[in-house]
Homo-oligomer: A and B are copies of this chain.
Amino acid sequence: MDKVIFIVCDGLGDRPIAELNRKTPLEAAYTPNLDKLAKGGISGAMNTIDIGIKPGSDTAHLSLLGYDPNTYYTGRGPFETSGIGMEMKVGDVCFRANMGTIDRDLIVIDRRAGRIDDTSEFANLFNNTAIDGVTFLLKKGTGHRVGLIMRGKGLSANISDADPHKLGVKLLEVKPCDDTKEAKFTAKILNKFIRISFLKLKDLPSNKKREKENKLPANCFLIRGAGMFPKIPSFKEKYGLRAVGIAGAGLYKGIAKILGMDTPNIKGATGKPDSNLNAKIEKVIELFDQYDFFFVHFKAADTLGEDGDYQGKIKYIEKIDRAIKPLLDFKDTLVVVTADHSTPCYLKSHSADDVPVTIYGKHVRDDDVDRFNERECAKGRLGHIKGLNLMPIIIDLMGLAELFGA
């Protein structure tokens, strides 16, 4: 059975850029190795969710890995709490939060409490807080971030954010987004938690000390992205494959963990343009005998697109190209390269433009495409597919598809 190396280049797709003679960064980049994959593989254009639908990174990854986000996605929270290693149960309502700074009138002064770099004291202080039968579980995330879980009966994730997502406005009251008693109850309890935590945080000795040192106090949890931890079959249950997630950024580790993948630490994998991409491929090589499916995530093309930095995006793509060179020599392996969505430098945000996809392998029907980019892959033999089509195609190429009929 072939193994699968499944590479997702976050935000890789783009739109024509005048300064690049109407090429995209991927079209302008020098990518001899990606092109060899395209030349030896089958290519297509893919809408990871659907035509005209602008994907989030979370929903797009679920879809790429064969999990319908309409079924399994209820919000960002569970992927973030998973990413920092919290243990969740079905029915938990999970959130992402920042430690932020508010004033006496609850006006948000800073959304990162002066870029505080360790939130463990605050997370630990409120971990296991119980309010009206609901337990709050907290754990520090990277930098100013905290993961937060509400555990108890009768909860709902259909509630609004407390985080106003901007400065100079009041912290928001959490509101139910539907008429159910669960949403009303969850909003009420979460508002209580926010009040109680503010009263404690504002007078905390370490915050008094921060103020004396002219630092902004971390006196508020800016809570957002409620999501119910779903009942979701693991990758192993769904496909029978031993899978590993090779990612630097928390969200992608979180997705991998939720699907039951192992998520080893990768030295130098930062999720930023300076990330050690070679280390990810070396980790694939190191673990090659232990797994069947390697989900490899490269983050920074997305970040650079959101910065509108098309030159940086070209350089980062060329760095990906160099990093994946060893994969060309792998035997009995399907190498899949694609993206979760486009992040056009012109828009500085995600877009619904389709992304290129190539599946390379000895037994794959190759086509006439010999460059891996948006324009050329769209001419490929896979045609136009959806994200949810990709895993069934891969499973079938592996010879593992279930027979429909007899």
Contacts and interface: CB of A to CB of B under 8 A. Distances in A.
Interface in A333-380: 344, 346-347, 349-353, 362-367, 374-375, 378
Contact of A58 (B57, B59, B385, B406): B406
A225 to B, nearest CB: 6
A385 to B, nearest CB: 6
Interface string A373-406: 0110010010111000101110110010111111
Given A365-B353, A375-B367, A51 B401 contact: no
Contacts of A384: 383-384
Interface string A238-281: 00000000000000000000000000000000000000000000
B57 A406 contact: yes
Query: Chain A at the B interface: mostly helix, strand, loop or mixed?
Result: loop
A15 interface: yes
Give the size category of A's interface with B.
35 or more
Nearest to A18: B362
B406 A353 contact: no
A73 interface: yes
B349 A404 contact: no
A363 to B, nearest CB: 5
Given A53-B404, A405-B55, A396 B365 contact: no
Interface in A3-30: 15-16, 18, 22, 24
A52 B75 CA distance: 28
A297 interface: no
Contacts of A346: 363
29 contacts: A15-B363, A16-B363, A16-B365, A18-B362, A24-B365, A45-B383, A51-B385, A51-B389, A51-B392, A51-B393, A52-B395, A54-B401, A54-B402, A58-B405, A58-B406, A59-B405, A73-B405, A75-B406, A346-B363, A349-B399, A352-B392, A352-B393, A352-B396, A352-B401, A353-B396, A365-B374, A367-B375, A378-B383, A383-B384
A69 B403 CA distance: 13
Contacts of A353: 365, 396
Interface string A36-68: 000000000100010111111111100000000
A223 to B, nearest CB: 14
Query: 10 smallest A-B Cβ distances: which pairs?
Result: A56-B405, A52-B392, A59-B405, A352-B396, A54-B401, A383-B384, A76-B406, A51-B389, A56-B406, A52-B393
B363 A54 contact: no
Number of copies: 2
Contacts of A57: 405-406
A399 B351 CA distance: 7
Given A375-B381, A396-B352, A405-B57, A364 B15 contact: yes
Contacts of A69: 404-405
Contact of A49 (B55, B365, B378, B404): B404
Contacts of A56: 403-406
Nearest to A16: B365
A371 to B, nearest CB: 14
Nearest to A53: B404
Contacts of A18: 362
